[in-house]
Chains A and B, each alone.
Chain A
Amino acid sequence: MKMQFMLLFSRQGKLRLQKWYVPLSDKEKKKITRELVQTVLARKPKMCSFLEWRDLKIVYKRYASLYFCCAIEDQDNELITLEIIHRYVELLDKYFGSVCELDIIFNFEKAYFILDEFLLGGEAQETSKKNVLKAIEQADLLQETPVPHPDLSGSLDSWVDTLKDFHRPSSDQLPAMHIFVHVTFIFWGR
């Protein structure tokens, strides 16, 4: 797998997340994004999830209002990339609890952190959903707590173990990416 980049964009063509695994100039990135968003949005729903673009293969899938779009190299496996996308959606869904586009807009940094735990350098780093979420939760627990001394690290694992698993039990359900209906941002008040 040599993923070159991953883009998340809305049906209106707004870019929601961009992750580049190859060095490109900002100008080139913008050009690629523009071209690709246009190409993908122009495709009809029943069409196949793969297309050739320049010398790359594009793998994309739409979840509710968001398109997830990856570029891989010629020899790479399209189907496993499609499931990379799905696993990432599952991770977002678990973390945010029924994720919707708004979650990704307002917590974009979290979306990046989760992606980094899952994919690194364009390759799958950890495919276990539990392990990825564990890493993120561990980090969340640390949030405002100052970590003055590196030696605390030893106890981190035990901290997490005492956490009750607040996730729903793993199911065979496709997470629904809800098109947002709740436009008020009550949760920011907390």
Chain B
Amino acid sequence: MPAVSKGDGMRGLAVFISDIRNCKSKEAEVKRINKELANIRSKFKGDKALDGYSKKKYVCKLLFIFLLGHDIDFGHMEAVNLLSSNKYTEKQIGYLFISVLVNSNSDLIRLINNAIRNDLASRNPTFMNLALHCIANVGSREMAEAFVSDIPRILVAGETMDSVKQSAALCLLRLNRTSPDLVPMGEWTARVVHLLNDQHLGVVTAATSLITTLAQKSPEDFKTSVVLAVARLSRIVTSAAIDLQDYTYYFVAAPWLSVKLLRLLQCYPPPEDAALRSRLTECLETILNKVQEPPKSKKVQHSNAKNAVLFEAIALIIHHDSEPNLLVRACNQLGQFLQHRETNLRYLALESMCLLASSEFSHEAVKTHIETVINALKTERDVSVRQRAVDLLYAMCDRSNSKQIVAEMLSYLETADYSIREEIVLKVAILAEKYAVDYTWYVDTILNLIRIAGDYVSEEVWYRVIQIVINRDDVQGYAAKTVFEALQAPACHENLVKVGGYILGEFGNLIAGDPRSSPLVQFNLLHSKFHLCSVPTRALLLSAYIKFINLFPEVKGTIQDVLRSDSQLRNADVELQQRAVEYLRLSCIASTDILATVLEEMPPFPERESSILAKLKKKKGSSKLPDLDDVRRSVNGSTDHAENTEATETSVSNTVLAFSLYRTEPTGIITLPCDDDFRFVCKNNGVIYENQLLQIGLKSEYRQNLGRMYVFYGNKTSTQFLSFSSAVTSSDILKTHILQTVDPMIEGGAQVQQILNIECLSDFSDAPVLSIQFRYGGTLQNIAVKLPVMLNKFFQPTEMTSQDFFQRWKQLGAPRQEVQKIFKAQHQMDSDVAKAKLLGFGVALLDGVDPNPANFVGAGIVHSKTTQVGCLLRLEPNTQAQMYRLTLRTSKDSVSQRLCELLSDQF
């Protein structure tokens, strides 16, 4: 056992570990651990000073207990003491404990940082490395603030040992990931780039990662790295494997470094310089060639390392997307892998090919592998590989092969794993729509989807088929005929009943000429499903029936009988009952003309992007999904998320509106209070709610802990609102009082005003809810809206001098009093806008306090009945990184927290 003889065996620790391992039950383990914790606690508290060895041993035991999954709430101080031990192993265990159990306790952080600072200054490489590892492992903001300026210095200093350079490079990388705003670019960047030329390959390996991360942040500063990276890569790929000594891995020259260099090059477009470009192309060709050479070893490590480089090279080729030759070669190589005996390679080939399929140069080449991919879908035993095959089929689909691919996906769906069914359904629905030449095929495909995997067909899918049928005259007759036939099946999915009910209700007349699908037959067919369906579907069917009454006067009597039956008129479900009553009444009293107008065919839907696509994007994460329209991948591999989601939301809500006749909404429209309305954090007036019937507007004013709100209700219709009433509910710490009730009737087009008094008793976070109820055309409407009353409304701006500000800032230095948030800018970073928002937020802006004029500093007092909370804030925009850092200090931590939430959402 060389390890232990070499090491620093702690007998007590070993005994403890074997005790734990010998425990027969969880309870016994917990008991043993508690005993040990008590023991350690008493040792730490004891009068006798512990020697370093014991301290190390106990700290190590605590660490072991923590890693077993138990909570540790002491021992941090002892661990920190170990950091300054002059015995290496004690120091090492101290650092390990700190790295694993980071504690944001500020006193300790200061001590830890001191110890780290000493070790960094020790010039002892082993100690420096320990300190750097600790910073990299913890990576906290406090550490970044303390050391971010030292590390670049250590990294580029001439006398720094290689191993320290390596640690420093990756340490800086970690800090850049956690606190990018703190890592300053400077004259050191040029020297960091030059590390790519370093003699020591370990240094190059570490530096390449750092440069890649920094280049993603500010590509301009690191542009020169491209030349050096190509040169380095070229030297590696042309070297004989043994040249690189220990950096050769199973006969492959520096695979990790090669992958990293190829990754770095993916931060940039293809080099413009012709010589450089051809050198890079040569490298890539060499890498492709090497795969064809006979293997130098049969070990899987050899082929893995070689192929790791190959896949990264292909990723670069796809990223550049400019060399048709290389793209096609890459595709052929992947084609070979598709039939490789290694599952891993087949998986990766399918994955990479997905990306190739989106390049116009290689799309055709990818398509030639269709049979192999289909075969993979049928024969692969691992679901994750089959999933890749589905993705690839989706990516390679175009007009020429869509019928085949959709058919294969449909047949796979019959046996597909439940976990991926929904995704396949969405994909089929998208492809069928996108590549439909004639819409009869589209209708067939969707009905098949419902037949095969009805449970996985989401609303978006069946809404969409109806939208398309309604918008296209040429397919309506076919759709009616097909759903009619599909409904003949003894057991059909409820989604089919929905689609069938809707389509027959609209277009049943187109097939009514055939005696086999006469109106009565159609009605009986639909009604035979009625009792097996859920309430929403039944409601939809009732609407279809009333549409039938309009389309086919001859079945009016039959349908009226059905509506009149007790099971409808006295249905326990209020919505069904209401529909039955209203439809029956409508059919009895309305003249044919009125009936025809009310129950007219649905108007065409406005053309819009399919909401299914958006759903799929949401499900998969945009980066994984090659966009069918977007031939070229964007440089960062990400598509604009925000835009897509927005599109989904609007289109879904449109759909919902259009379908309201067919959907259940128990008592009119209920709008549930949504999340806080952040639009009103910085302003006091505006429209807070609007639908087709009603608009609610606000004006409000605040003074100290009191507020007054004028609420305006506008009737947008030409009909009266009856039994109008409103109420406000709020928590105990925010008192609200309605001054006068509104007249229960609001005339069409009229606006009425209501006044609301507000009093803030203590700091709060829940906004009051305004609930409104009224009757419009017989339906009861319920609306609930959150009123935009937020804590910052009770701000009083405070002017103060720079000196006062800093003095108070220091006074509010306790850890929980400060809240800091770093966030990406959601809007354009405009200084004037930011200023207006901060003023709207309620603080006074103090000029000349912050040395950096781009930053904002503000102060104010939040008033409540019980207390007044002083608040200081600082907002630092970083336009380069498109980020903000917001720091708030107040005398009450819950206030800091809440204000930070509110304000950070504004930028």
Q: How many residues of B contact A (CB 8 A)?
A: 93
- Asked whether any CB of chain A lies closer than 8 Å to the CB of B623, the reply is yes
Point out the residues of chain A lying under 8 angstroms from B346, CB to CB: 48
Interchain CB contact under 8 A, B64 and A108? yes
Interchain CB contact under 8 A, A77 and B311? yes
Interchain CB contact under 8 A, A77 and B259? yes
A68 → B minimal CB distance (Å): 14
Encoded as 1 (CB less than 8 Å from any B CB) or 0, chain A from 48 to 81 comes to 1111100100000000000000000011011110
Across the two chains, which residue of chain A brings its CB closest to B18?
Answer: A185
Give the contacts of B1-59 with A (CB-CB under 8 A): 1-9, 11, 14-15, 17-18, 21
Point out the residues of chain A lying under 8 angstroms from B209, CB to CB: 1, 121, 123-124
Interchain CB contact under 8 A, A128 and B167? no
- Given A74-B623, A95-B3, also A131-B202 (CB < 8 A): yes
Interchain CB contact under 8 A, A52 and B4? no
* CB-contact partner of A156 in B64, B92, B125, under 8 A: B125
Q: How far is the CA of A142 from the CA of B444 in the complex (A)?
A: 76
Interchain CB contact under 8 A, B3 and A107? yes
- Asked whether any CB of chain B lies closer than 8 Å to the CB of A153, the reply is yes
- Asked whether any CB of chain A lies closer than 8 Å to the CB of B177, the reply is yes
Interchain CB contact under 8 A, A126 and B255? no
B interface list, Cβ under 8 A from A: 1-9, 11, 14-15, 17-18, 21, 60, 63-64, 67, 69, 71, 86-89, 92-93, 96, 100, 122-127, 129, 132-133, 136-137, 139-140, 163, 166-167, 170-171, 173-174, 177-178, 201-202, 205-206, 209, 245-247, 249-250, 254-257, 259-260, 263, 297, 299, 301, 304-305, 307-309, 311-312, 315, 343-344, 346-348, 381-382, 384-385, 387, 621, 623-624, 637
A35 → B minimal CB distance (Å): 14
Interchain CB contact under 8 A, B205 and A46? no
Would you list the 3 A-B pairs with minimal beta carbon distance, nearest first?
A121-B174, A79-B308, A142-B88
Q: How far is the CA of A179 from the CA of B348 in the complex (A)?
A: 31
Interface centre among A55, A122, A188 (most CB of B within 10 A): A188
Interchain CB contact under 8 A, A146 and B86? yes
Give the contacts of A129-153 with B (CB-CB under 8 A): 129-131, 135, 137-140, 142-148, 150-153
Q: Add 6 more A-B contacts to A55-B621, A80-B255, A144-B88 (CB < 8 A).
A: A23-B139, A107-B4, A109-B96, A135-B163, A174-B299, A190-B4
Interchain CB contact under 8 A, B312 and A77? yes
Encoded as 1 (CB less than 8 Å from any B CB) or 0, chain A from 99 to 118 comes to 00001011111101100100
| Total A-B residue contacts, Cβ distance less than 8 Å | 237
Point out the residues of chain B lying under 8 angstroms from A147, CB to CB: 86-88, 124, 127
* CB-contact partner of B124 in A75, A153, A188, under 8 A: A153
A3 → B minimal CB distance (Å): 11
Interchain CB contact under 8 A, B14 and A172? no
Q: How far is the CA of A108 from the CA of B178 in the complex (A)?
A: 27
Interchain CB contact under 8 A, A47 and B1? no
Interchain CB contact under 8 A, B67 and A18? yes
A105 → B minimal CB distance (Å): 6
Interchain CB contact under 8 A, B126 and A156? yes
Point out the residues of chain B lying under 8 angstroms from A125, CB to CB: 166-167, 170, 202, 205-206
Give the contacts of A163-186 with B (CB-CB under 8 A): 166, 172, 174, 185
Across the two chains, which residue of chain A brings its CB closest to B244?
Answer: A128
Q: How far is the CA of A74 from the CA of B21 in the complex (A)?
A: 38
Point out the residues of chain B lying under 8 angstroms from A128, CB to CB: 201-202, 245-247
Interchain CB contact under 8 A, B126 and A142? yes
Q: How far is the CA of A145 from the CA of B387 in the complex (A)?
A: 57
Interface centre among A77, A82, A86, A145 (most CB of B within 10 A): A77
Interchain CB contact under 8 A, B11 and A47? no
A42 → B minimal CB distance (Å): 11
Across the two chains, which residue of chain A brings its CB closest to B20?
Answer: A105
Interchain CB contact under 8 A, B3 and A97? yes
- Given A30-B69, A135-B163, also A112-B88 (CB < 8 A): no
Would you mind naming 30 contact pairs between A and B with Cβ atoms under 8 Å apart? Answer: A47-B381, A47-B384, A48-B382, A48-B384, A50-B384, A74-B637, A77-B263, A80-B255, A80-B309, A83-B256, A96-B3, A103-B3, A105-B21, A120-B167, A121-B139, A121-B170, A124-B206, A125-B166, A127-B249, A127-B256, A127-B257, A131-B246, A135-B163, A143-B87, A144-B87, A145-B87, A145-B88, A174-B299, A188-B15, A190-B9
Across the two chains, which residue of chain A brings its CB closest to B91?
Answer: A147
Q: How many residues of A contact B (CB 8 A)?
A: 76
Q: How far is the CA of A25 from the CA of B563 in the complex (A)?
A: 58
Interchain CB contact under 8 A, A96 and B2? yes
Interchain CB contact under 8 A, A15 and B69? yes
Q: How far is the CA of A52 from the CA of B15 in the complex (A)?
A: 40
Point out the residues of chain A lying under 8 angstroms from B621, CB to CB: 55, 74
Interchain CB contact under 8 A, A143 and B8? yes
- Given A97-B2, A139-B88, also A50-B347 (CB < 8 A): yes
Q: How far is the CA of A172 from the CA of B299 in the complex (A)?
A: 8
Across the two chains, which residue of chain B brings its CB closest to A119?
Answer: B170
Interchain CB contact under 8 A, A112 and B96? yes
Across the two chains, which residue of chain A brings its CB closest to B348?
Answer: A78
Point out the residues of chain B lying under 8 angstroms from A146, CB to CB: 86-87
* CB-contact partner of B637 in A75, A126, A135, A187, under 8 A: A75
Across the two chains, which residue of chain B brings its CB closest to A74?
Answer: B623
- Given A80-B259, A150-B122, also A48-B14 (CB < 8 A): no
Point out the residues of chain A lying under 8 angstroms from B125, CB to CB: 153, 156
Point out the residues of chain B lying under 8 angstroms from A82, CB to CB: 304, 308, 344
Interchain CB contact under 8 A, A148 and B86? yes
* CB-contact partner of B137 in A107, A116, A130, under 8 A: A116
Interface centre among B11, B250, B259, B637 (most CB of A within 10 A): B259
Q: How far is the CA of A174 from the CA of B166 in the complex (A)?
A: 28
* CB-contact partner of A120 in B67, B89, B100, B170, under 8 A: B170
Across the two chains, which residue of chain A brings its CB closest to B89?
Answer: A143
Q: How far is the CA of A150 from the CA of B91 in the complex (A)?
A: 14
Point out the residues of chain B lying under 8 angstroms from A188, CB to CB: 4, 9, 11, 14-15
Point out the residues of chain B lying under 8 angstroms from A135, CB to CB: 126, 129, 163
* CB-contact partner of B344 in A44, A49, A148, under 8 A: A49
B287 → A minimal CB distance (Å): 13
Interchain CB contact under 8 A, A172 and B202? no
Point out the residues of chain A lying under 8 angstroms from B60, CB to CB: 109
Across the two chains, which residue of chain A brings its CB closest to B90?
Answer: A144
Interchain CB contact under 8 A, B136 and A121? yes
* CB-contact partner of A46 in B133, B178, B343, under 8 A: B343
Point out the residues of chain A lying under 8 angstroms from B8, CB to CB: 143-144
Point out the residues of chain A lying under 8 angstroms from B249, CB to CB: 83, 87, 127
Q: How far is the CA of A69 from the CA of B203 in the complex (A)?
A: 26
Point out the residues of chain A lying under 8 angstroms from B137, CB to CB: 116
Q: How far is the CA of A129 from the CA of B202 in the complex (A)?
A: 11
Q: How far is the CA of A12 from the CA of B7 in the complex (A)?
A: 29
B79 → A minimal CB distance (Å): 13
Point out the residues of chain B lying under 8 angstroms from A140, CB to CB: 6-7
Point out the residues of chain A lying under 8 angstroms from B304, CB to CB: 79, 82-83, 86
Across the two chains, which residue of chain A brings its CB closest to B262?
Answer: A77
A58 → B minimal CB distance (Å): 10
* CB-contact partner of B17 in A30, A52, A105, under 8 A: A105
B517 → A minimal CB distance (Å): 47
Point out the residues of chain B lying under 8 angstroms from A51, CB to CB: 384
A134 → B minimal CB distance (Å): 9
Point out the residues of chain A lying under 8 angstroms from B123, CB to CB: 150-151, 153
Interchain CB contact under 8 A, B259 and A126? no
Q: How far is the CA of A113 from the CA of B7 in the complex (A)?
A: 12
Point out the residues of chain A lying under 8 angstroms from B11, CB to CB: 188
Q: How far is the CA of A126 from the CA of B256 in the complex (A)?
A: 10
Q: How far is the CA of A139 from the CA of B7 in the complex (A)?
A: 10
Interchain CB contact under 8 A, A123 and B89? no
- Given A83-B255, A105-B21, A124-B205, also A143-B139 (CB < 8 A): no
Point out the residues of chain B lying under 8 angstroms from A107, CB to CB: 3-4, 7
Across the two chains, which residue of chain B brings its CB closest to A51?
Answer: B384
A167 → B minimal CB distance (Å): 9
Q: How far is the CA of A108 from the CA of B62 in the complex (A)?
A: 13
